[in-house]
Amino acid sequence: MPPTRGGRGRPDRNRRPGGPRKTGRPQDLVRRTAFDVIRAVETRDAYANLLLPTRLRDRGITGRDAALATELTYGTLRGRGTYDAVLALCSDRELRRIDAPLLDVLRLGAHQILATRIPPHAAVGTAVELARSVSGPGQAKFANAVLRKVASRDLDAWLAIVAPADADATTRLSIAHSHPKWIVSALRDALGPDRDEIGALLEADNARPRVTLVARPGRATAQELYDAGAAPAPYSPYAAVLAEGDPAHIDAVRDGRAAVQDEASQMVALALAAAPLDGRDARWADVCAGPGGKAGLLAAVAAGRDARLVAADVQPHRAGLVRRAVDDRTGVVAADGTAPAWRPGAFDRVMVDAPCTGLGALRRRPEARWRRGPESVAELGPLQRRLLATALESVRPGGVVAYVTCSPHLAETRVVVDDVLRDRGDVERLDAPAVLASVAADLTGVGDGPYAQFWPHRHGTDAMFLALLRRGD
């Protein structure tokens, strides 16, 4: 659902910033900043996680005001599906006939009313003022009428109306947890026999993600991150969790010796490094390396073994981001992973972090659920297959390829691997859960093999998929 909910089915209001304050920066600037980011997401395909920090910095918004702007931005983007269902009942116009900027103001107001500690009268008033500045006095009156109706019930009461218990399951889950129907269906299919976990998964998608750090081995240690105020993470030996504060204030992060990286992202990189192979182990590759999270960790692990990583990305600006994440031993090139600039069989280990729908990272990129449709899966499929097929040609006999997606969608994960391997008798599927267990003995719930799947509701990570493939002679 749009807000994180407590154990008794009510909003967990204690976690929400945004209560009344007597002092501080004018609140219209905070709300205007949230609105501007939401509009940029809608009109320019901007990414909220990249744009919002820049807007906050440029406008000098810090502390509790920055926390409120962040909550309003991400909460509105996450909860859009639920809020639209409520707004449709409170408006005498069809939502598609409401001007897009005004509709975003209404969504922002609905989030304040239904999912924060802001008093309803204040939430309505500030939203109406924003509507006035965006769309004029006449539309402000309309916004006032709509949002006063929204404020007549709390979220639980509205959910009983817009997502009733007797609705079909997909519709009810879609509205209650603010996910498009096609995503609800795809995630349920990906859960397989554990489909009854779908509610917990959708709820986890709407929870505020923790900030996880990685200490790049040989350059920083997890203990250094603990000493800076972070806590141990459950799986990766190089991970630490930051409960609060700006990661950039930690020396190791500021110096590039540590970075923000989801723990599942760390684990799939470490699984590639731990996978058994035959023969030499000196040349590694990451063929879709941008923006550099997995490449940064792989390069550090490789350096500790006297191996060398080559990191490639088809987009030059993303290759530039990779250069910032790796050391001088790493070769970084702007190259197409489907038409490689290296000879066949050049590498001992190859990472393919394939472009995908990103359904596994909806906690951190909530706008992705509204940006893509089911056609995106079909559009990306041929590229995913070409990248994996080329990676298998790029690894030498006896070497290992890791196929990774930040999506649990079956058509982007096991179906891709199975299709590519269907006519290849020279590739062995390794037991990915067993390899992961060699990195973190306490890791469970990633599947029975040969593939591994991380889940937000089980592991507190992105829903990362991993296949480990060893090429035979």
Active-site residue numbers? 406
| Rounded Cα distance, 408 and 441, in Å | 23
Q: Are 127 and 143 in contact (CB under 8 A)?
A: yes
Q: Are 328 and 303 in contact (CB under 8 A)?
A: no
| Rounded Cα distance, 150 and 120, in Å | 9
Other CB atoms within 10 A of residue 196 CB: 9
Residues composing the chain: 473
Which tokens belong to 427? 């590739």
| Rounded Cα distance, 47 and 205, in Å | 17
What is the residue-wise DSSP string for 245-286?
Answer: S-GGGSHHHHTTSEEE--HHHHHHHHHHHHS--SS---EEEE
Q: What backbone phi and psi angles, to 5 degrees, belong to 429?
A: -80, 115
| Rounded Cα distance, 80 and 101, in Å | 14
Nearest to 370 by CA among 94, 173, 30, 84: 84
Looking at the DSSP bridge assignments, the partners of residue 453 are 465
Looking at the DSSP bridge assignments, the partners of residue 151 are none
| Eight-class DSSP state of 361 | G
Q: What backbone phi and psi angles, to 5 degrees, belong to 444?
A: -135, 170
| Rounded Cα distance, 32 and 197, in Å | 37
| Rounded Cα distance, 42 and 104, in Å | 9
Q: Are 330 and 311 in contact (CB under 8 A)?
A: yes
Give the contacts of 341 (CB within 8 A, at least 6 positions apart): 312, 333, 335
| Rounded Cα distance, 349 and 402, in Å | 8
How many separate helices (H) and strands (E) can be counted in the chain?
20, 12
* Alpha helical stretches, state H, 21-62: 27-44, 48-58
Q: What backbone phi and psi angles, to 5 degrees, belong to 401?
A: -115, 135
Give the contacts of 452 (CB within 8 A, at least 6 positions apart): 268, 271, 432, 433, 436, 446, 465, 466, 467
Is the preceding peptide bond at 450 cis, omega within 30 degrees of 0? yes
Displacement of CA 237 from its chain's centroid (Å): 22
Is the preceding peptide bond at 180 cis, omega within 30 degrees of 0? no
